[in-house]
Structure 1
Amino acid sequence: MASHTVTTTYKKEMQFETDSPTGYKTLIDTSPENGGRNEGMSPKALMLSSLAGCTGLDIVFVLNKMRVAVPEFKMEVKGELTEEHPKYYHKVWLDYHFYGNDLDEAKIQKAVDLSESTYCGVMEMFRRFATLEVGVHFHKINA
């Protein structure tokens, strides 16, 4: 069975450094009102980034297999927290934005659907605690 291990080390004040299994390091911090300096990602923001990263990797992999080029692609993820502690995301909006003048919208949509339904484990984890709304948007690039 696959597993992952990360090591997170206290640095100073409210800042931590966490590493990936491959050795890449990321800073975690909080806002000044919570004693931090905003010098790193907050833990909850990292969760939203993980969702975007997971599905984004899936989509690029599938599009490469389909031989579909996308000049520009980004995702915007917004999470709404519960009012009571422990606060967690109970609603999440994930918007995919694809930019290009000759986009194969049907194949791109298929790649998104495959990520959502089959491949993205982080998305499946989010579905266990949050309502997830997804939008796919296609944009022309001005020449």
Structure 2
Amino acid sequence: MTTIVKWQGSGMAFDATASTGHTVRMDAAPEVGGENTGPRPMEMVLMGLGGCTGIDVVMMLQKMSQDIKDVQIEIESERSSEIPKVFTKIHVHFKVYGSELNDKKVKRAVDLSAEKYCSVSKMLEATVEMSHDFEIIEV
């Protein structure tokens, strides 16, 4: 897996291109020379976590024949006040929307993703206090 990150020539904007060809822009806040044209790199870490665990949970719930209509993942984080301002705590909250969802199956999918399958979560847990929970919303 290879990613190329290229400065856009002014300000603090960088475009990252993954080996799959997909590109995303990252930028800094205006107060540090950015133009706010993309998410901050640390926001990208949280987005990657959400995408990774979300894919796991949706795949598992589909295999468990759960009638899911939507999954939303809300991630809250805390960072160190000292430089480098690393994450110290991350909480992942799943909102699983569906019809007649089985609480035990949803819990199992969320737990398996957080504790076994999500590579991003496993990588972060080495240095970050990680937690997760879920709620089922009938639709």
Verify same fold: TM over 0.5: yes
Query: What SS is found at the alignment partner of 1:27?
Result: strand
Q: Which residue of 1 aligns with 2:55?
A: 57
Structure 1 runs (4+) greater than 4 angstroms displaced: none
Aligned to 2:12: 14
Instruction: State the SS of the aligned residue for 1:70.
Output: strand
Q: Kindly state the Cα deviation for residue 113 of structure 1 after the two structures are TM-superposed.
A: 1.4
RMSD: 1.2
Normalized per residue, which structure has more strand?
Answer: 2
Q: In the TM superposition, what is the alpha-carbon distance from 1:41 to its structure 2 partner?
A: 1.1
AA of the residue aligned to 2:89 = K
Listed one character per residue, the Cα deviations across residues 67-95 of structure 1 (whole Å, up to 9, x for unaligned) are 22211110011111101101100011111
Point out where structure 2 has 5 or more consecutive residues left out of the alignment. Answer: none
Distance 2:80 2:15 in 1: 27
- Report what 1:107 is aligned to: 105
Unaligned 5+ segments in structure 1 are none
Q: 1:130 aligns with which of 112, 128, 135?
A: 128
Aligned length: 138
Matched, 1:90 2:94: no
Scaled by the length of structure 1, the TM-score of the pair is 0.91
Q: Percent identity?
A: 31
Deviation at 1:21, TM superposition (A): 1.5
Residue identity opposite 1:28 in structure 2: M
Deviations 1:85-115 (A, max 9, x none): 0110001111111123422222111111111
- Could you say if the C-alpha distance between residues 50 and 80 of structure 1 is closer, same or farther in structure 2, counting changes exceeding 3 Å? same
